[in-house]
Amino acid sequence: MMTIDQRLHRVVYASRIRDEETTPEEDLVARIVDSARRNNPRRGVTGVLVHGNRAFAQVLEGRPLVVRGLLAVIQRDPRHTDMRVVKLDVVEERIFPNWSMALLRDLDEVPVEFAAGNASLLMLMRLRTLLHTGELGA
Ligand SMILES: Cc1cc2nc3c(=O)[nH]c(=O)nc-3n(C[C@H](O)[C@H](O)[C@H](O)COP(=O)(O)O)c2cc1C
């Protein structure tokens, strides 16, 4: 039986790099992913960060309180702004169980590791739609 402790939250949000931010996008993203890969494993957080054209779309998966806390930290991060949470679901399974934080550039080919799973591939497509249109799509 599933207990409350085992619940997972999956949150999807979009944001954009602040206009005042002068660090090149690639460097900025590299630093962010360094933090994520250092911190997320011990917090049991998994997910993916898609970026392009100075915009972000991210999925965070983990225990409800952990995800909520991390989201609050990320929201205060001065490197980006205009954060919009577009989806928050209680889920039973992770879409990205093997990624402390996968990174994908908007127009890159989808790595073969992702193509193995329909759910992850679908989510990546939706994140790209979110980057382009501001909406998550079907
Ligand atoms: C778009 C975006 C996504 C981020 N994702 C994560 C993340 O998944 N995990 C994380 O620990 N920090 C993430 N951060 C960085 C946090 O805002 C914060 O800088 C960091 O957690 C601080 O920890 P550190 O001092 O260990 O680097 C993200 C920041 C941005 C702008």
4-133: in CATH 3.30.70.100: yes
- Taking the model in full, what pTM does it have? 0.94
Two tokens at 85? 């949470």
pLDDT per position in the chain (138 positions), as tens? 555 557 899 999 999 999 999 999 999 999 999 999 999 999 999 999 999 999 999 999 999 999 999 999 999 999 999 999 999 999 999 999 999 999 999 988 888 777 667 889 999 999 999 999 988 887
Q: At residue 80, what are phi and psi to the nearest 5 degrees?
A: -135, 175
Cα→Cα distances 62→11, 12, 22, 70, 95, Å = 9, 12, 32, 10, 11
Atom number of ligand 1 nearest to Cα 74: 17
Q: Within 13 Å, how many C-alpha atoms sit on residue 71's CB side?
A: 25
Let me know the angle formed at the C-alpha of 71 by 68 and 76, rounded to the nearest 5 degrees: 130
Q: Which residues line ligand 1 (CB under 6 A)?
A: 15, 32, 35-36, 38-40, 49, 56, 58, 70, 73-74, 77, 79-80, 101
Can you give the pLDDT at residue 2? Answer: 54
Domains in the chain: boundaries? 4-133
